[in-house]
Amino acid sequence: MAKVSLIGGGSWGIALAVLLHKNGHQVTVWSALESEVEMLAKDREHKMMPGVILPKDILCTGDDRTAVAGQDLLVFAVASSYTRSTAARLSPLVRQGQMILNVAKGIEEKTLMILSQIIEQEIPQADVAVMSGPSHAEEVGRGMPTTIVVGAKSKATAEYIQGLFMSEVFRVYVSSDILGMELGGALKNVVALAAGIADGLGYGDNTKAALITRGITEIARLGTAMGGKFETFCGLTGIGDLIVTCASMHSRNRRAGILIGQGKTYEEAMAEVKMVVEGVYSAKAAMALAKKYNVQLPIIEQVNQILFEGKSADQAVKELMLRDKKIEVSEAQWET
């Protein structure tokens, strides 16, 4: 039995807390929001995930020391925009070599850092790993079969965390490609916004398939330029996560995209979804990275123009369709 704290009491933190408890571990859920701690302690469920019940022996707390001291693993499940402030807040309490698992997805707009890099910067004494893949909290919390990947610099760390989470409904693979995993997880949210916008415009399956396929091409193009492994973008944390986020109504990014496609601003869409829409925060960072590494991201570029420059979704689609003629597989050789 391990002692594990979920740093973040949102839907993903709650889903993983229930999973880890079923695996026999001693689980603590920490939240910076006093109202959230009170709700979880009293109701034993999160209002965003009704029906997923926290067992009574899971401790819900807002006390930093209680959440950090003596734990075998800290699981960072806060929204990407709060990763740095949360890491800085808890850093003085984190011991040398403490394992921290980041399960959020995003890129910091100002620094262009992935979340594991932010945690390492704020908590340099920690052993930081990541977990990503096609895994909606709503389904994990209800015990639906899910596959996911843990990435770490050390094989021993990856395999230890793999052992904590593995169950008959939660299969965990391991990887050394932290960068590729995190880029896939962050950038797919931007493409999912595009997929939702297409849905909001009333487009069909042909459009969705095109966005997913060309979207993973853009993600892999940037990711490999930055040093990620191409195989990572072909796997669970790349195309797998992209498919589920573009196709499911559990996806807050797709839901927000639908509202934007119907004519709402991204601020109005986020207010209606009532959850953090990570793709909005990653979109500008993606374009800054594209410029830095000199790669083209036409879908992500159009999403940025819709979100921040007032371009109509209809016009963005037309511009994507009427781009210069291209060859799909650049390495292919013609017979004649």
In the predicted structure, residue 92 carries a pLDDT above the cut 90: yes
| Number of separate domains in the chain | 2
Catalytic pick among 56, 105, 188, 208: 188
User: Does residue 57 share a domain with residue 96?
Assistant: yes
Same domain, 145 and 87: yes
pLDDT at 2 over 90: yes
252-261 vs 266-273: helix crossing angle, rounded to 10 = 130
**264: annotated active-site residue:** no
Are residues 172 and 41 part of one domain? yes
Do 127 and 9 fall into the same domain?
A: yes
User: Pick from 176, 198, 226: which residue ends a domain?
Assistant: 176
Q: Is the pTM of this model over 0.85?
A: yes
Domain that includes residue 197, residue range: 179-321
The answer as to whether 119 is a domain residue is yes
Tokens of 177: 């490609």
Question: Do both 169 and 21 map to the same domain?
Answer: yes
Domain co-membership, 259 together with 286: yes
Co-location of 72 and 36 in the same domain: yes
Among residues 143, 176, 209, the one where a domain terminates is 176
pLDDT for the residue 222: 97
Residues 218-243 pLDDT 10s: 999 999 999 999 999 999 999 999 99
Question: Does residue 24 lie in a domain region?
Answer: yes
pLDDT in tens, 66-77: 999 999 999 999
pLDDT band at 195 (very low <50, low <70, confident <90, very high): very high
CB 132 within 8 A of CB 238: no
Backbone torsions φ then ψ of 332, nearest 5 degrees: -70, 145
Domain boundary (176, 202, 237) is at 176
Angle between helices 178-200 and 278-293 (to 10 degrees): 120
Query: Does 264 reside within a domain?
Result: yes
- Closest listed residue to residue 67, CA positions, set 19, 105, 100, 43: 100
Return the closest-CA partner of residue 42 out of 32, 28, 53.
53
Per-residue pLDDT, 295: 96
